[in-house]
Chains A and B, each alone.
Chain A
Amino acid sequence: GENVEQHPSTLSVQEGDSAVIKCTYSDSASNYFPWYKQELGKRPQLIIDIRSNVGEKKDQRIAVTLNKTAKHFSLHITETQPEDSAVYFCAASINNAGNMLTFGGGTRLMVKP
């Protein structure tokens, strides 16, 4: 089955700096890669996703890149703010086979004011 590895497990940045979180996946059939943000005690919230037919997607301060050959994808957050502090999870799935998500282990992002 699919295996998703996520690094780093913790990341501390100064407010205004950029943050990058990286994930690798094992199943070359995976074609959908969402990112979720989870604040303490709250539900995972979808913040951005990318499908395998594109290499990059941006939404304001957030961007995701995908390298299908290397089987890795990354989340980039620019101009970080204290409210970006949370745990971020990457995930992978095969969209036309039920779309069951396999998650990475999470990255705890701390943005220091």
Chain B
Amino acid sequence: DTGVSQDPRHKITKRGQNVTFRCDPISEHNRLYWYRQTLGQGPEFLTYFQNEAQLEKSRLLSDRFSAERPKGSFSTLEIQRTEQGDSAMYLCASSLFSGPSSYEQYFGPGTRLTVT
């Protein structure tokens, strides 16, 4: 499968624990996005990278959230001191930015986080 992959697919954790998710984009894609989706809602933008640079962060991304893309390939999203409100599907998407254009974003299968 040459699409976007995410690991783990499911994570159950206790409130207060730290969790880390991984996203592997489509290999030639230089842009990587993180979104969060709660049940019955559309995805909400969290942050995005172009190569290894984090270029934008949503106000939804509290100080407990941090994301990295150290070598411009895979990315990690860490949530510290998880809260029940963090329970959601965390989606990663990638796209190819070429010159002034960056259009189609392709999504991974997501990591479903449940905080108990």
By a beta-carbon cutoff of 8 Å, the part of chain A in contact with chain B is 4, 6, 32, 34, 36, 42-46, 49, 51, 89, 91, 95-96, 98-106
Decide yes or no: A34 and B42 within 8 Å by CB, A98-B56, A100-B33, A100-B56 being known contacts. Answer: no
Which A residues are in CB contact (< 8 Å) with B58? 100
| C-alpha spacing A47/B37, complex, angstroms | 19
Decide yes or no: A106 and B105 within 8 Å by CB, A44-B91, A98-B56 being known contacts. Answer: no
Distance (whole angstroms) from the CB of B54 to the closest CB of chain A = 11
Considering the complex, give the chain A residue whose CB is closest to the CB of B97. Answer: A99
Considering the complex, give the chain A residue whose CB is closest to the CB of B112. Answer: A41
| C-alpha spacing A103/B43, complex, angstroms | 6
A-B residue pairs, 8 tightest by C-beta: A103-B42, A100-B45, A43-B107, A44-B107, A99-B102, A43-B109, A89-B42, A98-B56
B85 on interface, CB distance cutoff 8 Å: no
Say which size band chain B's interface belongs to: 20 to 34
Which A residues are in CB contact (< 8 Å) with B40? 106
Beyond the given A99-B31, A103-B42, please list 5 additional residue pairs across the A-B interface where CB-CB is below 8 A. Answer: A36-B107, A96-B101, A98-B56, A101-B33, A102-B45
Which A residues are in CB contact (< 8 Å) with B101? 95-96
Q: Is the CB of B44 within 8 A of A103?
A: yes
Q: Is the CB of B109 within 8 A of A49?
A: no
Q: Mark B87-109, 1 if CB is under 8 A from A, else 0.
A: 00001000100001111111111
| C-alpha spacing A6/B40, complex, angstroms | 13
B30-82 with Cβ < 8 A to chain A:
31, 33, 35, 40-45, 48, 55-56, 58
| C-alpha spacing A45/B106, complex, angstroms | 7
Which B residues are in CB contact (< 8 Å) with A99? 31, 95, 102-103, 105
Q: Is the CB of A96 within 8 A of B100?
A: yes
B25 on interface, CB distance cutoff 8 Å: no
